[in-house]
Amino acid sequence: MNGDTQIYVSGREYKVLGHVVGYDQIVKIWNELHAAENKHIIGTPGIDYENGRKEKDGVLLPGKFVEVQDGTSFSVDPEHVS
């Protein structure tokens, strides 16, 4: 849990090493943060992030990486319904 950069994944704090994270890593972190509640994402959820500045916000797609800073907040949305 010790790392360089404190990020948020679905509102929960997490520290990562370095300043770049990937899509798979965020899903893994989400599962780790929700393990105590017995929740586990399978598949490819929607992920977007906010860096506090609008021009730094974006969508993180599978296979992609993004630069993070302290406070970068990821939202993970598993559903896609109509």
Partner 1 sequence: MTDRLSAFGEQAGFIVTVDSDIVRATGVPCLLAGGVVGTCTVETSFDPASLKPTDQTGGAVHAVKITVSEECDGLVYHADGNAIGNHLGGDGKTWSTISIRKGSQHSPEEDLSASDLIHRYAKQIVGAVSAAGYSEAISFTGPGAFKIPNTFEARAAIGPVQDRIRSQHIAIIGLGGTGAYVLDLIAKTPVAEIHLLDSDVVGWHNLMRAPGAPTTEEIESLRKGCLRKVDYYHRKYDSYREGIHPHPVRVDSPSAFAEFLSEHPIGYAFVCIDQRTDGDSPRQDVVYSALSAAEIPFIDSGVSITLDGHAVSGVVTTSFYAPGSLTWKDAIPNARVEGNLPGYRNVQLPEVNALAASLAVMEWRRRTEQYVSKSASFLHKFRLETPRIIDAG
Task: Measure the CA–CA gap between 5 and 21, rounded to whole angstroms.
Answer: 10
Kindly state whether residue 1 participates in binding partner 1, applying the rule CB under 8 A: no
Q: Which of helix, strand or coil describes residue 46?
A: strand
DSSP state of 7: E
Q: Which of 18, 40, 52, 70 binds partner 1 (CB under 8 A)?
A: 40
Kindly state whether residue 53 participates in binding partner 1, applying the rule CB under 8 A: no
Which residue, 38, 71, 45, 69, is CA-closest to 59? Answer: 45
Q: With respect to partner 1, which residue has the nearer C-beta, 2 or 63?
A: 63
Q: Which residues bind partner 1 (CB under 8 A)?
A: 34, 37-46, 48, 50, 54, 57-59, 61-63, 75, 77-82
